[in-house]
């Protein structure tokens, strides 16, 4: 099964020490169903300093107009030995009626959309801040990319706010780079064979 591999680092919020990040994404063959919609399933495995911390099944579907929709995720948080939680899990048709818009078909600067809008579970609002970008990572050079600014929303005293991060998506690849407070992830290898 093809695999995209990301690497980067972040700061430990408690100690301030750097944490080495590694994320592996695998697209499963075939499709599954969420809320009666055929979806592509992407398995994501997160490691911090070589230790497994989370596995996620993400569910995507492409609309006839070309937009990509996000229909939810199943999350298993891990302490290196066992599953300890499922924070952030949600599915269209269960917690919400409508999927999130992951990326518009013809993104324009200023487009704003919700990738996740599940109050109390996950709320993320993205704004397109650049298009037709070229970006180089250890995996190669990618053209025609879209840069978004994503805000993780938190309701505090009736106001929505949260930390922001920038993500770059490139045609035929998906996510290529992510910059967030205190760290980053970038694509190291694209579509290489591997096993979980």
How does pLDDT run across 4-61, given as a tens digit for each residue? 999 999 999 889 999 999 999 999 999 999 999 999 999 999 999 999 999 999 999 9
Q: What angle do CA 78, 82, 84 make, to 5 degrees?
A: 55
Report the domain count for the chain: 1
**pLDDT for 196:** 39
The long-range contacts involving 120-125, CB below 8 angstroms and separated by at least 24 positions, are 121/88, 121/89, 121/90, 121/95, 122/88, 122/90, 123/152, 123/153, 123/154, 123/160, 124/100, 124/150, 124/151, 124/152, 124/153, 125/150, 125/151, 125/153
pLDDT of residue 154: 65
Determine the average pLDDT of the residues in 108-136: 93
Tell me the helices (H) and strands (E) count for the chain, helix number first: 0, 17
**What is the rounded distance in angstroms from the CA atom of residue 5 to the CA atom of residue 192?**
8
Q: Which region, left, alpha or beta, applies to residue 178 given φ > 0 means left and ψ of -120 to 50 means alpha?
A: beta
Domain span at 104: 2-193
Q: Which two tokens stand for residue 69?
A: 């929709």
The pTM for the full model equals 0.89
What pLDDT, in 10s, does the model give residues 127-175? Answer: 999 999 999 999 999 999 999 999 987 655 555 566 789 999 998 899 9
């Amino acid at each position: 099964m093809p695999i995209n591999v990301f690497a980067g680092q972040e700061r430990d919020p408690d100690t301030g020490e750097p944490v080495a990040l590694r994320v592996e994404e695998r697209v499963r063959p075939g499709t599954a169903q969420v809320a009666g919609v055929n979806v592509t399933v992407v398995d994501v495995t997160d490691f911090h300093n070589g230790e497994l911390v989370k596995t996620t099944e993400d569910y995507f579907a492409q609309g006839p107009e070309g937009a990509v929709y996000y229909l939810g995720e199943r999350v298993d948080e891990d302490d290196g030995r066992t599953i300890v939680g499922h924070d952030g899990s949600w599915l269209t048709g269960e917690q919400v009626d409508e999927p999130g818009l992951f990326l518009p078909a013809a993104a324009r600067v200023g487009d704003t959309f919700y990738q996740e809008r599940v109050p109390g579970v996950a709320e993320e609002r993205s704004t397109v801040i650049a298009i037709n970008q070229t970006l180089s990572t250890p995996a190669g050079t990618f053209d025609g990319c879209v840069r978004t600014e994503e805000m993780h929303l938190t309701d505090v005293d009736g106001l929505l706010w949260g930390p922001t991060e920038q993500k770059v998506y490139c045609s035929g690849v998906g996510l290529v780079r992510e910059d967030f407070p205190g760290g980053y992830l970038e694509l190291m290898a694209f579509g290489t064979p591997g096993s979980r």
